[in-house]
Structure 1
């Protein structure tokens, strides 16, 4: 995996679900950051998912994701 700074909006990648919360799932998208896949609750922790990056906030170390 790459670092968050190397990723760009629109990139499609495969990550692993790291946490499930009531409003979605967090997906590990880089060695140093997770992104939120809002509204998804089906995947289980550790499961692979393919996502598209919608927005990146490097300072806050987070990203918004959608299913790809």
Structure 2
């Protein structure tokens, strides 16, 4: 099975996980909007998913948003986000 491509290099991901935890609030930039959510760059190329069910209004690519880390999936290098 092929592993999905991740947004950040392993060292960058590890640094991100060392600095952040579930529940933390960070500012990010909307990278792209897809039918199921928006991908947010939360620093150093690490992208998290803000699920569309959590939107108050649809975010625009390039806009800055404050988000809370809902969950960190360390093994799969995924970040789940919710509005802060």
* TM-score, shorter chain, exceeding 0.5: yes
Shorter-chain TM range is 0.7 to 0.9
User: Structure 1: where are the runs of 5+ without partners?
Assistant: none
Quick one: distance in 2 between partners of 1:24 and 1:57? Answer: 17
Whether 2:20 is the aligned partner of 1:4: answer: no
User: Structure 2: where are the runs of 5+ without partners?
Assistant: 1-14
Q: CA deviation at 1:66?
A: 0.4
Which residue number in structure 2 is paired with residue 36 of structure 1? 49
Bigger proportion of residues as helix:
2
Which residue number in structure 2 is paired with residue 47 of structure 1? 63
Quick one: distance in 2 between partners of 1:48 and 1:62? Answer: 20
Report the TM-score, using the length of structure 2 for normalisation.
Answer: 0.71
Q: 2:33 aligns with which of 20, 33, 36?
A: 20
How many residue pairs align between the two structures? 67
Quick one: distance in 2 between partners of 1:10 and 1:57? Answer: 13
Q: What is the RMSD of the two structures over their aligned residues, measured on CA atoms?
A: 1.8
Runs of 4+ in 1 over 3 A off after TM superposition: none
Bigger proportion of residues as strand:
1
